[in-house]
Amino acid sequence: MKSVIFRTVAPFLTSLMTLFSIFVLLRGHNEPGGGFIGGLIAVSALAIYGIAHGVETVRRAIYFHPLAIAGAGLFAATVAGLISLFAHVPFMTGLWVYPSIFGVEIPLSTVMLFDTGVYLVVVGSISSVALSLEERGGE
Amino acid sequence: MEAWFALLVGIFFTVAVYLMLSKFIIRVLLGVAVLGNAVNLLIFTGGRLTRGVPPVIAGGADALDGPAANALPQALILTAIVISFSFFAFLLVLAWRAYEDLSTDNTDEMRVAEPAKEPMPPLGY
Amino acid sequence: MAVPTSSPVDLSAALVLGPTTFADWLVILPVAWCFAIGALLVMLRRPIGLHSIIAVAGLAGLVLIDALLLGHVATKGPVTMVMGRWLPPFGIAFTADLTGSLFALVAAIVALAGGIFSLADINDSGRRYGFYPFLMLLMAGVSGAFLTGDVFNLYVWFEVLLISSFGLLVLGSEPEQIDGTVKYGFLNLVATTLFLVATGYLYAVFGTLNMADIARKAEGLRGGAPLTTLTALYVLAFGMKAAAFPVNFWLPASYHTPRVVVSALFAGLLTKVGIYALIRVLVMLFPVEREELSFVMALAGALTMIVGVLGALAQTDFRRILGYLVVSGIGSMLAGIAVGGPGGIGGAIFYALHSMLVMTGLYFAAGIAARLGGDSSIATVSGLYRKNVAFAALTLMLCFAVSGLPPFSGFWPKVMLVKAALDIGAWWLAAALLLAGFCTVIATGRMFLLAYWRDDAAAADETVQLPSAVLAPLAALSLLPLGVGLYPEPLLATIQSAAAGLAEPSAYLNSVFPAGGLQ
């Protein structure tokens, strides 16, 4: 993409959208949002960056291979279900801990781990498709 | 209301089947996309159309206050949307590859795996 | 209506409160195990050499887990576990009964054989492309489909195995594979969409998706709800997945294009998932409607058998012959489901298990034959017998087994099916079964005669050694049918009680709703 305005704005837009995607992911437990929609927002952010600066830049920026990210997400989601094994409750039962970090009580749960896994799976798999399509389109 | 939705679902299915009967991959692909939406609408209608609030119990109460929307069809549709979305993405890439590699998008001409004229198997030893 | 919070809430009406034992975990473990190993493999992109080791070890673990599960189910009856400890029908239930765990165990054995065979068949580029992760995810889908107790969840597992099968099919990206995948992909997507349509109607009628809940509610709804239409939709959707005539055309168009091990696994696993789903839905959920559709299904089964075997007779390519034989075998299972009764259902289950082992073995043999002979057409390949005698003997055993000749595993289900068909007076169905068996003998016999026994003038007495990674799975998959054929009693007894458990699912219902549950 040749447009100077777009190329200048794209990094800011991408970082804002990535931040927003994480916000959507975290608010998903009790309000609209969640891993899937958050992941899609993150992928759109990456796609915008790819249109502006080329696919190679995006691949360098996310460091890991998109499919490796998806694999890590799938692993996290499976582990989130399997933790219940040690608590003697059925698969996928939500387990909560409330650690206090710097005096603030942070509720953490296997549900959140699962949702983070979904987020990573969506980011990895969809961005892999999107990036390969962009690569082809650029030829 | 259900009757109108049933009609709408019928129209969706008609369009989808018509598109899928085409010889051209890209139209078939569009047909598949419409078909997915038709099914989602079908599930939505099948779960009864009600005007209700989300089934969330208010703070300080133990049970729902009045009728609520049925959340299950929506959850089913969400799953189906995710799946059909990923399939659509895959098939789109596949159709593009098929067009590049086989240099046609006409399914009648896609005879690489099953060539049209094949010799008979040997009839004797 | 608002109830103050101070009233004590009876959690036991909604949640599982007792501790979960390890035995309950066996139900979910096959799926979770495959997902965990598959995800691990996706993450490990660099050390590609580790993939095969981890995957084969993982598949061996899967066989062990499924064997433990089968042992547990055989002694203690069906086991249920619900996700997130929500009681059924609210929570998604995984229920393993004898049928499901038998299918899961045989599928795991087939996958392990495939994993070992792939050591010699899948090269580095195939590994880098992700053969092993896709294989593990495929097994997650297959195991999930066999063990789930929820109709919509079954749909999800169908999609999981479908998307991993796409990945396996295009491995290599040759034009032929792309062509095959286009047909496979679109037609299978239509099939699963039909499944979803049927499930949407099912939910509209029953208001529940739990299989046990549907089974006990179906009696009360009969007469008032369009259950026959619903069942017909399921028959069409699962029939398409199982490649029954007249919706079988995707199978012969695609199964000969991918790598040998991929087509072997597909032939062993995918169509049988369709058959399993058909058995589960028709026999356990809608037995009365199955009676009503019995004739149509018997007709479709007979046509599938005959059309399949005629297709096999018209082909020259090894794997295309086998593709049509897969279709023909599906016809026999369909006939068993149509006939019903302990003989029909038991025969269908037995035939499906036999077919999983034998068809996979035959595809392995076809791959080896193509490599030894330098071509994959029975018109040009010859003299394989002289090249490797052991390999030729194993192939001959598999050819006998697939044709239903004694003393191999194909014989007993054929006997059960023919007898069941004659018992209800469907002589034409029995005739079709025997005719299809006879034509299968011709098709496989011709393959053996031309490619193995015909003398190769150019290369006489030149023996070729085969690596044990290739021969061992082939030997396992041809000796297992021999063992089952010679001593069928234990398996037969298990299959008969599995069929009885489907026809009279009170043990299944008790496992899902221990105290009668919510009505």
Per DSSP, the residues of B91-109 read: HHHHHHHHHHHHS--BGGG
Banded pLDDT at A1 (limits 50, 70, 90): low
Tell me the sheet residues that pair with B106.
B24
Task: Quote ipTM for the complex.
Answer: 0.92
d(CA A93, CA A88): 10
The token duo for C156 is 């999800």
Instruction: Using an 8 Å CB-CB cutoff, list residues of chain C that contact chain A.
Output: 16, 19-20, 24-25, 28, 32, 35-36, 38-43, 45, 81-85, 94, 130, 133
Backbone angles phi, psi at B112, to 5 degrees: -70, -45
Which has the closest alpha carbon to C362: C414, C291, C429, C312? C312
CB contact under 8 A, C2 and B63: yes
pLDDT score of C1 more than 70? no
Closest residue in A to C39 (Cα) is A71
Q: How far is B59 from chain C (nearest CA, A)?
A: 9
Please report the pLDDT score of residue C333 as a whole number: 94
| Residues of chain C found within 8 Å of residue B55, distances taken between Cβ atoms | none
Q: Which residue of A has its CA nearest to B85?
A: A126
DSSP state of B51: -
Nearest to B39 among C1, C182, C197 (CB): C197
State whether B47 and C203 contact (CB < 8 Å): yes
> Which one is predicted more confidently, C519 or C476?
C476
pLDDT surpassing 80 at residue C213? yes
pLDDT (mean) for A50-78: 89
- What is the nearest CA distance from A4 to chain C, expressed in angstroms? 37
* CA diameter of chain B: 86
In sign, the C-alpha dihedral spanning C213, C216, C217, C221 is positive
Specify the DSSP class assigned to residue B121.
Answer: P
Tokens of C104: 């899961």
Residue carrying structure tokens 């221990």: C514
Name which of A36, A125, A133 is nearest B93 (Cβ-Cβ). A133
Of residues C23 and C334, more confidently modeled: C334
Chain A residues whose CB is inside 8 A of the B89 CB are 126, 129
Least confident of C135-144, C219-228, C280-289, C427-436: C219-228
B83/chain A closest Cα distance in angstroms: 12
Q: Which residues pair with C150 in a beta bridge?
A: C210
Q: What is the pLDDT of residue C460?
A: 59
Give the rounded percent of residues in chain C with a pLDDT score beyond 90: 51
pLDDT at residue number C305: 93
pLDDT at A20: 95
Cis check: omega of the bond before B67, within 30 degrees of 0: no
What are B60-119's pLDDT values in tens digits?
777 777 777 788 888 899 889 888 888 888 888 888 888 888 888 888 888 888 887 777
Q: How long is chain C?
A: 519
Rounded Cα–Cα distance for residues C152 and B69 (Å) = 20
Q: Cα–Cα distances in Å, from C468 out to C53, C119, C231, C471?
A: 16, 10, 47, 5
Residue of C201, C203, C450 lying closest to B73 (CB–CB): C203
Range of the domain at A76: 4-138
Of the pLDDT bands very low, low, confident and very high (cuts 50, 70, 90), residue C2 is: very low
Is any Cβ of chain C less than 8 angstroms from the Cβ of A91? yes
- Digit-coded pLDDT (tens) for A2-31: 788 989 999 999 999 999 999 999 988 777
Contact: B89, A126; criterion CB under 8 Å: yes
Contact C45 A78 (CB under 8 A): no
On the question of pLDDT at C232 being above 90, the answer is yes
Please list, in sequence order, all residues whose beta carbon lies within 8 angstroms of the beta carbon of residue C165, skipping any fewer than 6 positions away. Answer: C138, C184, C266, C270
Task: For residue C290, give how far its alpha carbon lies from the nearest alpha carbon of chain A (Å).
Answer: 34
Contact between chains at C454 and B125 (C-beta distance less than 8 A): yes
Question: Bridge-partner residues for B68, per DSSP?
Answer: B53
- Write out residues 44-103 of B within 8 Å (CB-CB) of A: 82, 86, 89-90, 92-93, 96
- Residue C407 preceded by cis peptide, ω within 30: yes
Q: How far apart are CA C308 and CA C320, in angstroms?
A: 11
Q: Is A79 on the interface with C (CB under 8 A)?
A: yes
Task: Note whether A129 contacts B82, CB cutoff 8 Å.
Answer: no
- Mutation site, A92, A109, A132, interface C, largest C CB count within 10 A: A92
Residues of B with CB below 8 A from C183's CB?
A: 110, 113
pLDDT at C141: 94
- Helix H or strand E segment including C385: helix C384-387
Strands (E), A15-103: 96-97, 100-101
Q: What is the pLDDT of residues C107-166, one digit of tens each?
A: 999 999 999 998 888 877 778 788 899 999 999 999 999 999 999 999 999 999 998 998
**Contact C200/B46, CB-based, under 8 Å?**
yes
CA atoms within 13 A on the CB side of C242: 32
Per-residue pLDDT tens over the stretch A83-92: 888 888 888 8
Residues contacting residue C222 through CB under 8 Å, at least 6 positions apart: C288
**Partners of chain C (3+ Cβ pairs below 8 A):** A, B
Do residues B117 and B37 touch, judged by C-beta distance below 8 A?
no
What torsion do the CA atoms of C238, C240, C242, C246 make, to the nearest 10 degrees? 130
d(CA C289, CA C227): 7
Q: Are C195 and C281 in contact (CB under 8 A)?
A: no
The identity of residue C103, as a single letter, is: F
Interface mutation target, options C161, C178, C206, C248, chain B, most CBs of B under 10 Å: C178
- The gap from C-alpha B16 to its chain's centroid, in whole angstroms, comes to 9
The tally of domains found in chain A comes to 1
Q: Residue A102 and residue C192: Cα distance in Å, rounded? A: 51
Within the 40-69 window of chain A, which residues sit less than 8 Å (CB to CB) from chain C? 65, 67-68
pLDDT at A53 over 50: yes
Query: B2-50+70-108 has which CATH code?
Result: 1.10.287
Tokens representing residue C483 in the block: 């063992």
Mutating which of B93, B99, B100 best tests the A interface, going by the most A Cβ atoms within 10 A? B93
pLDDT tens digits, one per residue of C93-112: 899 999 999 999 999 999 99
State how far the Cα of B112 lies from the Cα of C42, in Å rounded to an integer.
31
**Cis (ω within 30 of 0) for the bond into C226?**
no
Q: How confident is the model at residue C459 (pLDDT cuts 50, 70, 90)?
A: low
Residues C412, C175: Cα–Cα separation, whole Å: 41
Query: With an 8 Å Cβ cutoff, is A71 touching chain C?
Result: yes
A74 vs C28, C39, C94: nearest CB: C39
